Amino acid sequence: MIDAETKERLIEEFRACLDSGEDDLAGEDEALDLRSLLAEMAVLKNEVRLQARQFKSALEQMQALSEALREHNERLLRDLERSRSQAADAKARAERGLLLGLLELRDRLQAGLDAQAAWRASPLQRLLGSERFVRSLREGSALTLQRLDELLASHRVRSIAAAGQALDPQCMHAVAVEWQPQAAEGVVLRELRRGFYQGAELLRAAEVIVNKKGNPA
């Protein structure tokens, strides 16, 4: 039989053996867990790199798309401005043509009024006794001319004051010269056709007769 002392010693040695075995197993588990952690970190690092490359590629594509959209918008704005400018030019040309036509009509109305005034003062009119008819005709023509002038004024059309002024080549054309000693050199004596501005822009130049010192040949 094993005495109590030997038995106690064997139990202590077995317990120590068990304790050392558990420590070895724990160390192996810790080493195994560290390797797994490092492996997982390596995999995660690769995934991060891949995602970073994908994000960079997506960012570059978005930047390229943004630049393309910006250029497209700029082209659209330029086309819009060009279309607006062309439409404004076309409108201005059409308006100018219409106003010039109205000025031609005004010239004829004014010429008719002048002719009626001359007829009223002529001996033939007094002889024929048609004063009432001529007066009625003149009043109607004057009213039409007034309405036409109002229409022109609504489009910012105003006449050029030429008679008695120095010749201005910017808005007057000298179509003839006369000699009047009492008038200054280069002064407009008469208008043959009235000139007009539309706003600050010359619509039609005035055709005038200018005074020239010395009897013209």
Q: What is the pLDDT of residues 121-180, one digit of tens each?
A: 555 555 555 566 667 777 888 888 899 999 999 999 999 999 999 999 999 999 999 999
Mean pLDDT of 67-79: 89
Cβ contacts of 105 within 8 Å, gap of 6 or more? 148
**Does 27 score more than 80 pLDDT?**
no
Give residue-wise pLDDT tens across range 187-203. Answer: 999 999 999 999 999 99
User: Is residue 28 included in any domain, yes or no?
Assistant: no
**Lowest model confidence (mean pLDDT) among 36-45, 57-66, 89-98:** 36-45
Q: Is position 30 within any domain?
A: no
Per the domain annotation, does 210 fall within a domain?
A: yes
In a domain, 169, yes or no: yes
Cβ proximity of 187 and 166 under 8 Å: yes
The structure's pTM equals 0.58
What is the domain range of residue 164?
158-217
> By percentage, how much of the chain surpasses pLDDT 70?
77
How many domains does the chain divide into?
1
Does 195 map to a domain?
A: yes
Q: 144, 177 in Cβ contact below 8 A? A: no
Is 145 inside a domain boundary? Answer: no
Assigned domain for 180 exists: yes
